[in-house]
Amino acid sequence: MLAKFEEVKKMLICPRSGRSLVQEGESFMPFDDGTGKSGKICYRTVSGQPVLVDFDDSVLDENEIFMRDGSSVLQRRQSRLRGWIKDRLLHPDANRLAGRVAWEFAQKLKAKVKKPRLLMIGSGVKGIGTNVFYDDPDIQVIGFDIYASPLTHFIADTHRIPIETGSVDGVWIQYVLEHVLEPWRVAGEISRVLRVDGLVYAETPFLQQVHEGPYDFVRFTHSGHLWLFRDFTEIKSGIAMGSGVQLLWTLEHIICGIFRSRRVGQAVKLSLFWLRLLEKIIPIRCGLNNASSFYFFGSKADKPLMPKDIVNYYKRIL
């Protein structure tokens, strides 16, 4: 269930100083050390939600966040029809996987804490499989993105998550890490905000074309994804979207380039949706080397993975 903003507000900190925030009218300001008075830094709001971004150290543009009508130009919109096509025709296996892991994730969270807090990174729209969290009254969902929506509590840059250290029990992050400049720094922030033995679930691309234009930066192999989360003990990991989906993406962009038309590319991709079924006969050895994206499900560890461990891991699974 989506947490109440009044509860989330108590957890917020200044992304620059790390100090607690106080609300003054429609603005949020950090406390000075020991004085009980607010400082000079002032964070404005969009749609009633604080924009906790240090724009001097972020790819985000302040003018894109603060539009005249109070909205953000960065907001993502998707029609119901397009969502249905993606969920039912193009990515059904990914949806089933995320749904199964989300259910297991929820059970493990509730086994650890009576009323667990789950931080949703990139929660402007619901991620696949996440209804189990929003429908569970025992799970407090805290969400943020780079724009305000009914599913977010604040706007922030993931490189500096503006909530207190050790304040959440789980973090869920789907297809966000390719859009950050320093994913290792983000993984460190995820570890920081999690409590001892907290849980994380991430889905991140490997072989995918550029999407979201200038806000697309990195890709990860399966081993690279595990190394990114080296401060966590693996519970499960593997292919989120396989070789068939990767082939469809490639065909779409080839056709788009030939005909100079995105719609033609999308039409061809849709007509060939059955190609994704080919990945069911591809052995795991080849699948891991040619997948569209990977997932990682883990718990915060006492000791990080060592460099030699990740090389031996690849040799062992293949």
Task: Based on the fold, state whether residues 238 and 248 are members of the same structural domain.
Answer: no
Say whether both 106 and 184 belong to one domain. Answer: yes
Query: The domain that contains 97 carries what CATH number?
Result: 3.40.50.150
The long-range contacts involving 79-86, CB below 8 angstroms and separated by at least 24 positions, are: 85/270
- Residue pointed to by tokens 């409590």: 195
**pLDDT score of 58:** 94
Question: pLDDT by residue (tens digit) across 94-141?
Answer: 788 889 999 999 999 999 999 999 999 999 999 989 999 999 999 999
Helix (H, G, I), strand (E, B) or coil at 238: strand
The pair of three-digit structure tokens given for residue 64, joined into one six-digit string: 């894109």
In a domain, 70, yes or no: no
What range defines the domain where residue 264 resides? 244-290
The two three-digit tokens of residue 203, written as one number? 């889905």
Which tokens sit at 271?
Answer: 């007509």
Domain assignment present for 75: no
User: Which residues, including other chains, have CB under 8 Å from residue 59's CB and lie 6 or more apart?
Assistant: 157, 181, 215
For residues 164 and 283, membership in a common domain is answered with: no
Q: How many domains does the chain have?
A: 3
* Domain match, 205 and 286 both: no
Burial class (CB within 10 angstroms; exposed 0-12, middle 13-18, buried 19+) of 215:
middle
CA torsion sign, 138 to 173 to 85 to 215?
positive
242 vs 209: CA distance, rounded Å:
14
What is d(CA 247, CA 118) in angstroms, rounded to the nearest whole number?
34
**How would you write the pLDDT of the chain (318 residues) with one tens digit per residue?**
999 999 999 999 999 989 999 888 889 998 765 555 555 788 999 989 999 999 999 999 888 887 644 445 455 555 565 665 566 666 777 788 889 999 999 999 999 999 999 999 999 999 989 999 999 999 999 999 999 999 999 999 999 999 999 999 999 999 999 999 999 999 999 999 999 999 999 999 999 999 888 999 999 999 999 999 999 999 999 999 999 999 999 999 999 999 999 999 999 999 999 988 888 888 888 899 999 999 999 999 988 999 999 998 887 776
**Residue 285: what residue type?**
R
Question: Do 167 and 305 belong to one domain?
Answer: yes
**For residue 108, what are the contacts with CB-CB under 8 A and spacing of at least 6?**
199
Whether 42 is covered by a domain: the verdict is yes
Do 221 and 232 reside in the same domain of the chain? yes
Q: At what angle do helices 243-259 and 262-271 cross, to 10 degrees?
A: 140
Q: Both 123 and 156 in a single domain? A: yes
H or E stretch at 49: strand 49-52
pLDDT at 85: 58
- The two three-digit tokens of residue 239, written as one number: 């292919």
Residues 164 and 43 occupy one common structural domain? no
